[in-house]
Amino acid sequence: MNFKIGLIHGDGIGPEIVNEAKKVLEAVSSKYSHSFTYENLLLGGASIDATGEPLTDETIESAKDCDAVLMGSIGGDAKTSPWYQLEPSKRPEAGLLGIRKALNLFANLRPAYLYDELRDACPLKKEIIGDGFDMIIIRELTGGLYFGEKKTVVEDGMRKAIDTLTYDENEIRRIAKRGFEIAMKRGKKVTSVDKANVLDSSRLWRAVVEEVAKDYPEVTLEHMLVDNCAMQLVMNPGQFDVILTENMFGDILSDEASMVTGSIGMLSSASLNETKFGLYEPSHGSAPDIAGKNIANPIATVLSAAMMLRYSLDLDREADAVEAAVRKVLKDGYRTGDIMSEGCTQVSTTQLGDLLVERL
């Protein structure tokens, strides 16, 4: 099949890790007889250097013309980079928020998976880790508290700040559907996380999620309060398959879940809109401290490419093959510096990419 993939190389280690992911995609296309064409898009610091803006209309239009976009991280060192002398709306991160909004990317997916070979990096006790864990957090990304009406006023000489948490049923329904569809491709269990004992928005969330669940009888639905979920993630992470939640809860829980895996260079993410289109990127930043040294871990970006194959291109078998290649490389004892442990062989960014291609 033919697909057009947008590539945002980004800043810092971005170009290095995207190049390795592209290498892996090329291996997939030749093994499974697909044709991938690539379009390079500018975003963030690289876009500021080339055009003066962190995001241009050209990038938005070109992205819309692609089946999916794969991105390395954007941004630089806030203390030394001239990008951070610019006003906030002109800085690299404004480009990222802008493209998410322009493409209506309302569903954020962040898997947290514990590789057997990286158990030592997990900060949890062995008896808690048990057989490991494999979950995905699906976070609503364009509504809720971060996007509601906000203001700071002075009343009777006292400063007062107001943030508004709003969700309408359509916003909840579309993210819930995404959650159930993804559960159907995985372990068929959804844990919907809310604060329904206190918040009206959560009570509506719960009601709409239950309505959507009726269309997915094979999926088991459970509800969990967000404070309990925060505890369960460190007490019994193996119980989760799909965690479905609103914007702010998802922001916090997805960072907690990623820390539980213990290895930031391994974590992928995706942001999807109502069509099959998605923007795929590692969960980590642009790591300016190690940029250009050929030592960055490309696995998070390679796994983001696997998510792209699965969710935007419907190439599940190919996504499985990429994920299996990652497991094999780890099993064979190859590591980049960030996940290095005794008895393993340390390799560079490009060597790791080559090893993945060999195993495909």
Q: How far apart are CA 45 and CA 111, in angstroms?
A: 27
Catalytic residue among 200, 227, 314, 316: 227
Smallest gap from Cβ 254 to ligand NAD, in A, equals 12
Where does this chain touch ligand NAD (CB under 6 A) — which range of 100-108, 112-120, 139-147, 284-292? Answer: 284-292
Amino acid letter, residue 119:
R
Smallest gap from Cβ 35 to ligand NAD, in A, equals 29
Q: 251 an active-site residue?
A: yes
Where does this chain touch ligand NAD (CB under 6 A) — which range of 59-67, 70-78, 154-162, 247-255? Answer: 70-78
Q: 160 an active-site residue?
A: no
Q: How far apart are CA 66 and CA 251, in angstroms?
A: 27
Taking Cα atoms as reference points, which of 253, 321, 302, 356 lies closest to residue 16? 302
Residue nearer to ligand NAD on the CB measure, 183 or 306: 306
Q: How far apart are CA 353 and CA 355, in angstroms?
A: 5
Smallest gap from Cβ 284 to ligand NAD, in A, equals 3
Smallest gap from Cβ 297 to ligand NAD, in A, equals 4
Contact criterion met (CB below 8 Å) for 299 and 352: yes
Q: Is 124 left (phi over 0), alpha (psi -120 to 50) or beta?
A: beta
Q: How far apart are CA 236 and CA 6, in angstroms?
A: 38
Where does this chain touch ligand NAD (CB under 6 A) — which range of 127-135, 149-157, 293-301, 311-319? Answer: 293-301
Q: How far apart are CA 248 and CA 256, in angstroms?
A: 13
Q: 185 an active-site residue?
A: no
Where does this chain touch ligand NAD (CB under 6 A) — which range of 59-67, 71-79, 175-183, 239-247? Answer: 71-79
Look-up of token digits 């499985």: 320
Q: How far apart are CA 106 and CA 279, in angstroms?
A: 11
Should residue 297 be labelled a site residue for ligand NAD when binding is judged by CB under 6 A? yes
Q: Which two tokens stand for residue 66?
A: 């692609």
Residue nearer to ligand NAD on the CB measure, 196 or 267: 267
Should residue 20 be labelled a site residue for ligand NAD when binding is judged by CB under 6 A? no
Q: Which two tokens stand for residue 353?
A: 């990419």
Should residue 286 be labelled a site residue for ligand NAD when binding is judged by CB under 6 A? yes
**Binding ligand NAD by CB under 6 A: which of 281, 309, 310, 319?**
281
Catalytic residue among 38, 146, 328, 354: 146
Should residue 287 be labelled a site residue for ligand NAD when binding is judged by CB under 6 A? yes
Smallest gap from Cβ 74 to ligand NAD, in A, equals 4
What x/- string results for residues 338 through 357 when contact with ligand NAD is judged by CB under 6 A? x-------------------
Taking Cα atoms as reference points, which of 182, 179, 181, 184 lies closest to residue 194? 179
Residue 208: alpha-carbon gap to chain centroid:
25
Look-up of token digits 């989760």: 240
Helix, strand, or coil (residue 23) = helix
Residue nearer to ligand NAD on the CB measure, 75 or 179: 75
Q: Which two tokens stand for residue 158?
A: 């006292």
**Binding ligand NAD by CB under 6 A: which of 54, 111, 265, 278?**
265
Contact criterion met (CB below 8 Å) for 326 and 356: yes
H helix and E strand count, the chain: 12, 14
Q: How far apart are CA 142 and CA 102, in angstroms?
A: 11
Residues 74-133 binding ligand NAD (CB under 6 A) are 74-76, 93, 96
Q: How far apart are CA 217 and CA 214, in angstroms?
A: 6
Residue nearer to ligand NAD on the CB measure, 93 or 323: 93
Q: 146 an active-site residue?
A: yes
Q: 195 an active-site residue?
A: yes
Residue nearer to ligand NAD on the CB measure, 82 or 227: 82
> What is the set of active-site residues?
146, 195, 227, 251, 255
Binding interface with ligand NAD (CB under 6 A): 13, 73-76, 93, 96, 264-265, 281, 284-290, 296-297, 300, 338
